[in-house]
Amino acid sequence: MNTWNETPTDLTEFLNLADFEEKAVERMSKMAYEYVASGAADELTIQWNRQAFDAIKLNPTVLNGVGQPDTRISLLGHELPHPILIAPTAYHQIMHPEGELATARGAGAASAVYVVSSFTTTPLAEIAQTATQPLWFQLYVRDDREYTRNLIQEAEARGCRAICITVDTAVPGVRNRQEKGGFNLPDHVITHHMPGPLNEKKPLTWKDIEWINSFAKTPVLLKGILNAEDAEKAVQAGASGIIVSNHGGRNLDTVPATIDALPRVADRVNGRIPVLMDGGIRRGTDVLKAIALGARAVLVGKPVCFGLACGGAAGVTKVIELLKTELEIAMILTGRATIPQIDRSVIWK
């Protein structure tokens, strides 16, 4: 099955993230494109992820003397050059022949943390050899808990600096559009660390989080929290961080946009552990808004997949660099010289 258009692409013509998605329709097979672009059921949450960002107005200040802003952040004991991470997404070899190796190289050139999916189509060992920037590992907890333990320990042994446990996927969502697109992995595409699709019978509970924390040597973050009460439970269970996420609108439709859920979670956590978010980030102004409303950093998924499809490693790099440049411009125009200076006063009330 042909999953990728091999014709070279001139990346100079890509001026924003929307350009990548528009071009990706031509670069990817219909099956691969629908897999990345689609969501759950009627895809209302996907729409809301964007509409909620668009509805937030910024409060600019003038004559503020901000020149080149400093985008550095401190996260889980490490200094990062900017707050834009690559979210975990599966099956990169259906987007580009080099798969996750191209993503890792692109992340390196963009100085971005890459969160590798459990459903990587490239062995973690090979990704780790290629990576020049920090790797994190996203984990689906399988019924076989011993297998899960071994996978965490392998990720740590490969140098992953954090484990992100996806907690919002007790069952896969109703993905009608993906099914209509005929999703089926080609024979040559293998998920090396996941024994088949998710069909778990043993529910994940807070006790499992405590169990993982009992042996994990790296920080454990919980990805997929929207409810402030769950955020409190995450803190109590010993989580090192929270990722506010609605799974890109791919699981339960009609849940809130992540940017709408973010302030409630951030207020409840109240700085005890870092709060990150994903879902709907398409502009540097979105990054600014997320940080203003309580996120320490953001993760970007679908646009990175489209960048990978359009230009391999260089496409991934350009997606992150476009966002970072737009963030810097937004910081200058709102009078914020550093990331810690971005607070809720940047939002127009």
Mean pLDDT of the chain: 95
Q: At what angle do helices 302-333 and 99-109 cross, to 10 degrees?
A: 10
Mean pLDDT on 245-269: 97
pLDDT given for residue 3 in this prediction: 55
Instruction: For 235-250, write each residue's pLDDT tens digit.
Output: 999 999 999 999 999 9
Give burial (CB, 10 Å; 0-12/13-18/19+) of 175. buried
**Cα–Cα distance measured from residue 226 to residue 220, given in angstroms and rounded to the nearest whole number:** 17
78 annotated as a binding-site residue: no
Instruction: For 310-344, write each residue's pLDDT tens digit.
Output: 999 999 999 999 999 999 999 999 999 999 999 99
289 annotated as a binding-site residue: no
Q: Is residue 111 pLDDT above 60, yes or no?
A: yes
Pairing outcome for strands 241-244 and 163-166: unpaired
Amino acid letter for position 9: T
Q: Sign of torsion, CA 190 91 200 138?
A: positive
pLDDT given for residue 2 in this prediction: 47
The residues annotated with a catalytic role in the active site are: 247
Q: Is residue 8 pLDDT above 70, yes or no?
A: no
Least confident of 59-63, 97-101, 292-296: 59-63
Torsion angle of C-alpha atoms 92, 98, 104, 107, degrees rounded to 10: -90
Mean pLDDT on 284-301: 98
Give burial (CB, 10 Å; 0-12/13-18/19+) of 47. middle
Please state which architecture CATH assigns to domain 11-49+68-329.
Alpha-Beta Barrel (3.20)
pLDDT given for residue 9 in this prediction: 78
Q: Are the CB atoms for 277 and 298 separated by under 8 Å?
A: yes
Write the Ramachandran bin of 319: left for phi over 0, alpha for psi from -120 to 50, otherwise beta. alpha
Instruction: For 13-33, write each residue's pLDDT tens digit.
Output: 999 999 999 999 999 999 999
311 annotated as a binding-site residue: no
pLDDT given for residue 5 in this prediction: 65
280 annotated as a binding-site residue: yes
